[in-house]
Structure formats: C-alpha cells, structure tokens
Amino acid sequence: MDIRAILMGLAFAFMWSSAFTSARMIVADAPPLTALAARFLLSGVIACGLALAMGQSWRLSRAQWRAVVIFGICQNALYLGLNFVAMQWVEASLAAIIASSMPLLVAGFGWALFGDRVRPLGIAGLVAGMAGVALIMGSRLSGGTDLGGVALCLLGSLALTVATLSMRGATGGGGNVMMVVGLQMFVGSAALAVVALATEPFVVNWTPRLGWAFLYTTLVPGVLATWVWFLLVGRIGTVRASTFHFLNPFFGVAVAAVLLGERLGWADVIGVLVIAGGILAVQLSRQADRPAA
C-alpha cells in the first residue's frame, strides 16, 4: 500500500465519518428523506457533470450498472435514508459507531454465506468488535437512547453490508468512475423522493446552519468521499480499502463532540477502542488471505 493510497484512505474515513454530524444538523431543520433526496439529486447533477467534463461516458460495463443500482438502493436509499430518519432521535456519535460495525458484518456474512475463511485473528476481531458495540449500546440504552432510532441504524448497517458485499467489479470495465458515482446518486434520489412525497410534510426551518450542512453533505461526503472510495478500491482492492474503516469510530465520535458538543462516557471511549481494534484485526486477517483486487 503506497502513500497515495494511505492518504486517500484517511481522507475517505474522515469524510465518511463527518457525514453523521452534518446529517444531524440537517434533520434538526428539515424533513430527513426530502432533504436526502434533494441532496442526492444535486450530488448526481454535479458528479455526472464532472464526469462528462472529464470525458467519461454513459456506456458502463454490466458490473458498473449493477453497482449503480445496488449502491443507489442499498447505500443511498436504505442505509443513508434509515440513518437520516434515525438521527431525529439518535445522536450522531452513536449512529457513526453503529455504522462503523459494517466491516464486522461484512466479514461475518462473508463467512456464513460465502464460506470465506476466517483466521483466528479475524474471529477474535469479530468477537471484540461486537462486544464493543454491545458495550456502547447497553450504556446508551440504559441512558434513555431511543430504541426505535437504534433499530433503524442497525437496519441501515445491514443494507450497507449488502452493498459492500456486491462491490467487487464495480469499477471494472473501462473506468467512468465519476459517472458511476453520479448515476447511483440519481437512483437513490428517485427512490427516496417517492417515499418522501408519500410520508413527509414539507416543513423546513431555513437557517444558515441548515444551508452550510446541506452544502457540505452534498459536496464532501456525497460526491468527493464516494469518488475517493471507488478510486481507492480500484487501486488497492476492497479488502485493503476496508481496513480504513477502523478509523471511522474515532473520526465519527470526534467530529460530533467538536461540532455538536455530544458528551461521551467511559463506556463509549472503551467501546470505540475495542470496535476499532476488532475492525483492524478482521481486516488484517482478511488481507492475509486475499490478494489485492
């Protein structure tokens, strides 16, 4: 793994983790699904415009079209949609921690459904990571955290797991990475818009914070982070790229604490460290078994 890949991984982890804080700001003043559908529509226009300016084509490989549909539905509509709704009641730091369990779920489902080999280090990482999640969840639930919101975050993580397991080959077949990014945004926007129109009243409290948070979420986690992730996977493979997810609990908690003033207890700190260690152990174990894709 070269220095460029390391920098890309660090940038992706920070941008991905910061999205929970900006999302928490957005849902405080706007209906969550409507805001998210609008964000994806704008992100898709920007990404496809950039792709055309870069000389990229609408002609995608079959694997790329599969990625467009799967990521549009599973990652954008389900994972982010469920998290946006949940963050009306759940703190950004907790949502980030739950979402950070995704690499553990990927490893577990890979073993259960596809017979992926799991080394002793990986097994230890799975156990430790889930124990860390359980520690934080127990502490937060006993403190009055909304159970329904937590359940939505967990369902969102399962949807993201499905998207990640379907990732292989997503950038193959002639490039057009930015076009893939833009088109899957349109898929997510269309799916969310249907649900939003049927379920949400359009009531918005127009504030400067809402404007800045929406702009940041659209451009940084929305377009830039997704593009960096596709490039990173194309450069070093899904297994090695996923190693950077062990940083997500740290970044997610830190950004929420700094910008939203969310308080953390000792159980949260210990749980984050255990989860991060578990994720790293799982990814190092998988990296030892597979060559870079």
Residues 21-56 pLDDT 10s: 999 999 999 999 999 999 999 989 998 998 899 888
What is the SS3 assignment for 226?
helix
| Residue 60 Cα to chain centre, angstroms | 24
Query: What residue has token string 């609008």?
Result: 38
Closest by Cα among 76, 79, 83 to 41: 76
Positive or negative: CA dihedral 74, 218, 257, 90? negative
Residue 292 — pLDDT band, cuts 50, 70, 90? Answer: very low
pLDDT at 215: 94
In the predicted model, is pLDDT for residue 188 greater than 90? yes
What is the SS3 assignment for 91?
coil
Closest by Cα among 213, 196, 197, 216 to 205: 213
Question: What predicted TM-score, i.e. pTM, was given to this entire model?
Answer: 0.81
